[in-house]
Amino acid sequence: SAVISQKPSRDICQRGTSLTIQCQVDSQVTMMFWYRQQPGQSLTLIATANQGSEATYESGFVIDKFPISRPNLTFSTLTVSNMSPEDSSIYLCSVAVQETQYFGPGTRLLVL
Amino acid sequence: QKEVEQDPGPLSVPEGAIVSLNCTYSNSAFQYFMWYRQYSRKGPELLMYTYSSGNKEDGRFTAQVDKSSKYISLFIRDSQPSDSATYLCAMSVANSGGSNYKLTFGKGTLLTVNP
């Protein structure tokens, strides 16, 4: 398994601003993922972040809106740019261990 | 048709009941099946993981996979109030190049176990 922490745990932001979410893992992992979980919805994968390469984005998500950094094997950041109220959601990072994934506690974002 | 269907509930049972949670899927390429438990205001916690048809037991929890029917279940025996949470099924395909880690989730079933 893996122990994952995220910062901040929650935030309230004004529209048009940007927020960077940090994800820290207690061990080195190759693959990290960023998800969004909107109220009443299932988890939706935003992008896959591998160390040393560009993140791979899922359909409907673009790098300009959700830039991702992966500077080493234990850390990643997701930035939510130019936020609107529709970006209010829980953002989760996860890491791949064998054929499954372990999740962080999530960042609850409210955009006013 | 969505790739993974899960009844969102809510499901309310008395303490000690046997709980059955289910998901159906349409993609026959799914090979790995997981159940996550998510408490309110927490991240999903991996509960069970299996990749073959049949049953896998872990304490009070049993995961069942029927690939021929594209149907998976999670059974909770002797349910406790501490089991009250949202249960998410998730699955992934077996693929090379690292893409086998992409998980497709159900919407989750909200379970309440009443003392």
| Per-residue model confidence (pLDDT) at position B83 | 97
Q: How many domains does chain A have?
A: 1
Closest Cα of chain B to A87: distance in Å?
18
pLDDT of residue A27: 92
Measured between CA atoms, the residue of chain A closest to residue B95 is A99
pLDDT tens per residue, range A70-108 = 999 999 999 999 999 999 999 999 998 877 889 999 999
Average pLDDT (B97-114) is 82
Distance, C-alpha A41 to centroid of its chain: 16
Average pLDDT for residues A47-66, to the nearest whole number?
91
Domains, chain B: 4-96+103-114 (2.60.40.10)
Q: Pick from B4, B46, B100: which is nearest to A102 by CB?
A: B46
Enumerate the residues of chain B whose CB falls inside 8 A of the CB of residue A108: 41
Domain that holds residue A50: 4-104
In a domain, A19, yes or no: yes
Averaged pLDDT for residues B64-75: 95
CA distance A12 to A80: 13
pLDDT at B1 over 80: no
**Position A111 in a domain:** no
**Residue A98's pLDDT is what?**
77
Flag whether residue A39 sits within 8 Å of chain B, measured between CB atoms.
no
pLDDT in tens, B2-32: 789 998 889 999 999 999 999 999 999 898 9
pLDDT at A50: 85
Q: Does B14 touch chain A (CB under 8 A)?
A: no
Sign of CA dihedral B75, B76, B81, B85: negative
Query: Residue A57: which pLDDT band, with cuts at 50, 70 and 90?
Result: very high
Preceding amide of B10 cis, omega within 30: yes
Give the closest-approach CA distance of A34 to chain B in angstroms: 11
Does residue A8 sit within a domain? yes
Structural domain contains residue A29: yes
Would A112 be classed as within a structural domain? no
Which positions ≥6 away from B26 have C-beta within 8 Å?
B1, B2, B3, B4, B70
Sequence letter at residue A106 = G
A1–B46 CB contact, under 8 Å: yes
Say if A62 falls within a structural domain. yes
CATH number at residue A89: 2.60.40.10
Pairwise CB contact (< 8 Å): A103 & B98: no
